[in-house]
Amino acid sequence: MKRILLVEDNPDDEALTLRALQKVALNDEIVIARDGVEALDIAFGRGEYGNGNGSSKPRLILLDLKLPKVDGLEVLRQLRANSETRTIPIVVFTSSSEELDILHSYCLGANSYIRKPVEFSQFCDALRQISGYWLSLCQLPPQIDCQR
């Protein structure tokens, strides 16, 4: 089973995303981080989220940008700066259509930038396409430290 890290601080968007993922019959494990610090702890397997062997690392991260404690761009920066998390696909999935957010996301290494659709059917379709591509179609590298 693949693990998806959903980084979302808005409870309504979290519920909508989980409902949409359920509707598209995604059976992968969904782990939720509600702020940037928690997202980094989960991705790096630190503290209560670590098991020491790296198997708890997500295979896909859906990252909102406007987060408490540490914003999404800083989360992205730290994940890309670390050889253990550098190859995890990160899809910025946000409400922002600000050109600077898009530019900074790609400059920091986002694999994709998708604005959350307002209509539920389009929201479901977006998540179906994201998960289908990143978890089924795309060949991802094994989860190893890139420094090795």
Provide the pLDDT for residue 49. 78
Give Cα separations from 30 to 15, 90, 100, 127 (angstroms).
12, 14, 29, 13
CATH of domain 3-137: 3.40.50.2300
Provide the pLDDT for residue 105. 97
Measure the CA–CA gap between 26 and 40, rounded to whole angstroms.
Answer: 24
40-82 pLDDT, tens digit each? 999 998 878 776 555 578 989 999 999 999 999 999 999 999 9
User: How many whole angstroms from its chain centre is CA 51?
Assistant: 20
Confidence of residue 22 (pLDDT cuts 50, 70, 90): confident
Residue 11 has pLDDT above 90, yes or no: yes
97-112 pLDDT, tens digit each? 999 999 999 999 999 9
Tokens representing 33?
């981080």
What is the identity of the amino acid at 97? S
Domain ranges of the chain: 3-137
Tokens representing 138?
């795309």
Whole-model pTM above 0.95? Answer: no
